[in-house]
Amino acid sequence: MRYRKLGDSDLEVSEISLGSWLTYGAGLERDQTEACTRAAFDAGITFFDTSNIYGVGAAEAAWGEILSDYARDSYVLATKVFFQMSETDRGLSREQIHKQLDASLTRLQTDYIDLYQCHRPDPDTPIEETMEALTEVCEQGKVRALGFSEWTIEQIQAGLDVPGARKWVSSQPQYNMIWRAPEAELIPFCAEHGISQIVWSPLAQGVLAGKYRPGEQPPSDSRAASDAMGWAMDRYMSDDVLEAVQRLVPIADASGLSMVHLALAWVLREQNIASAIIGASRPEQVHSNAAASGIELSPDTLEAIDEALSGVVVSEPRLANFVQEGVKHR
């Protein structure tokens, strides 16, 4: 496993990280969660990403129990805040940041979060209030570094502009061979400001593994076949996308790589990427994905990938789900 610096912070993270969206505490049983987490440590993964909204606290609680078996300084722990946790709890107000962070700390059974991320922007709250609250929790020792997920350039810049506030060190966008929207504006902007990418869905939720075939029902044990875990996959399940993905198979074979390793190595070719977040339901998936760290693709392979996916790549900036544009000031 190789490791990369997270933005201009003092945090170092594994190139492959383990995430818990749609899985731990929700789609998977407790013993599977524990087996995958222990496999991650065995594979050299030291970076774990979750959110308060995953399973409405259940994912954090599951990891709180499991990670308590490991020395706290042996891993980097990230969680997020924004989404609705109750009828009255939502957003990035000062009150919510303090309240939700304390609740996350309790569930995760830890005194501090290494990376606290704003899961989506909150244009209903003044950016000054949000950044001041985030700075407060850093100064209290409850948070080491700050990040965001799926913010617009305008919103990121507004956060950077708040006087005296702690700066962002990470961005968490969707990014993979098909979904290249961050390349247009986000990655260049972040690279200029010392902000690294921690990317989610590097395998397009499993589609880039090549297991879904055009015109066929998804395998019964796959994410796409699960009501709990497959609801966000529509954009990748069209026949034209699945046909393009099948054109990657001979490219992977010629490179001596699995489809998973090809997809993860493609993401990690970008120097502004600090880590690619994988989702796994079985320990062997964790070990297999972790082995992608350090693989380098040749220029010819990269060119062949572009040709194979021509016509299905998303390359222009796109708003993610649940994102509101705009910035509110005091």
Catalytic residues, by residue number, are 54
Helix, coil or strand: residue 63:
helix
From first CA to last CA, the distance across the chain in angstroms is 45
Contacts by 5-8, CB closer than 8 A, 24 or more apart: 5/196, 5/274, 6/76, 6/115, 6/145, 6/169, 6/170, 6/196, 6/198, 6/274, 6/275, 7/145, 7/168, 7/169, 7/170, 7/194, 7/195, 7/196, 7/274, 8/167, 8/169, 8/194
Q: How many CA atoms lie within 13 A of 248 on its CB side?
A: 29
What does the alpha-carbon distance between residue 236 and residue 205 come to, in Å, rounded to a whole number?
Answer: 8
What does the alpha-carbon distance between residue 307 and residue 28 come to, in Å, rounded to a whole number?
Answer: 37
Supply the DSSP symbol for 312: T
Q: Are the C-beta atoms of 169 and 11 separated by less than 8 Å?
A: yes
What does the alpha-carbon distance between residue 140 and residue 48 come to, in Å, rounded to a whole number?
Answer: 22
Nearest-CA neighbor of 211 among 263, 154, 267? 263
Q: Who contacts 152 (Cβ-Cβ below 8 Å, separation ≥6)?
A: 121, 319, 323, 325
The pair of three-digit structure tokens given for residue 254, joined into one six-digit string: 């010629």
